[in-house]
């Protein structure tokens, strides 16, 4: 059964090379995580804007777009209720949660997505300083595409709306991204991200609801 894209989804994805199957998966993940807006597609748009600024090749951009759509498929497959809560996870839950990128990588492989997509999914929670997961990669060990997803995903999560999480403003989110540059995020990616303009997906839902 083909997934028919809604008007908001079309607005988010009009410039992206997305197929119906990946769009359906993205919508399913959004629903599981409690997003009423096209969250994964928003990340894909922001990531692609960064990819253009870094002059990534067309195939690399496509891999990045596809990975953005399915990066949290592991969370959906795990079906843990703590994912839907706005609280600090206990140590056991944190360890369990850190399995989702690997599960996502495996699912991307099962669905025939490229190895590049699989690895972006696996490494989208790696930190610039090496304190991320699942492999503790650092700096340039982390592919640029995964570093881009880290920034786009965090910004979208901070500024999107869920039943158990209130979005913060655009200015607050930009300040957060800036403060964690060189720690969680690649400073080069942050600098380029903060230079982006005239992209509707940058606007926080907190600002939209004012």
Tell me the pLDDT tens digit for each residue of 47-72.
999 999 999 999 999 999 999 999 99
Question: Angle CA(113)–CA(115)–CA(118) in degrees, nearest 5?
Answer: 70
Q: What is d(CA 139, CA 34) in angstroms, rounded to the nearest whole number?
A: 32
Exposed e or buried b per residue across 194-203, where buried means at least 16 C-beta atoms within 10 angstroms of its C-beta: eeeeeeebbe
The 10s digit of each residue's pLDDT in 73-103 is 999 999 898 887 878 899 999 999 999 999 9
Second-level CATH architecture of 7-208: Orthogonal Bundle (1.10)
Structure tokens at 24: 């359906």
pLDDT tens for each residue of the chain, 210 residues long: 333 344 344 444 444 545 789 999 999 999 999 998 899 999 999 999 999 999 999 999 999 999 999 999 999 999 898 887 878 899 999 999 999 999 999 999 999 999 999 999 999 999 999 999 999 999 999 999 999 999 999 999 999 988 778 899 999 999 999 999 999 999 999 999 999 999 999 999 998 755
Question: Angle CA(78)–CA(103)–CA(125) in degrees, nearest 5?
Answer: 100
Exposed e or buried b per residue across 115-143, where buried means at least 16 C-beta atoms within 10 angstroms of its C-beta: ebbbbbbbbbbbbbeeebbbeebeeeebb
pTM for this model (two decimals): 0.90
């Amino acid at each position: 059964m083909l997934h028919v894209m809604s008007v908001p989804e079309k607005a988010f994805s009009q410039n992206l090379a997305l197929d119906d199957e990946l769009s359906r998966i993205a919508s399913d993940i959004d629903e599981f995580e409690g997003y009423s807006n096209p969250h994964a597609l928003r990340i894909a748009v922001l990531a692609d804007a960064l990819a253009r600024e870094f002059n990534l090749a067309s195939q690399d951009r496509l891999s990045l777009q596809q990975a953005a759509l399915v990066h949290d498929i592991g969370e959906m497959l795990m079906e843990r209720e703590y994912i839907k809560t706005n609280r600090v996870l206990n140590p056991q839950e944190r360890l369990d949660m850190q399995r989702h990128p690997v599960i996502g990588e495996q699912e991307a492989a099962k669905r025939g997505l490229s190895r590049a997509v699989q690895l972006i999914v696996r490494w989208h929670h790696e930190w610039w300083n090496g304190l991320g997961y699942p492999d503790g990669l650092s700096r340039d060990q982390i592919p640029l595409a995964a570093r881009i997803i880290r920034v786009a995903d965090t910004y979208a999560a901070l500024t999107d709306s869920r039943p158990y999480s209130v979005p913060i403003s655009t200015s607050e989110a930009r300040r957060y991204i800036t403060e964690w540059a060189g720690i969680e995020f690649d400073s080069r990616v942050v600098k380029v991200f903060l230079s982006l303009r005239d992209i509707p997906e940058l606007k926080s839902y907190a600002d939209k609801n004012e």
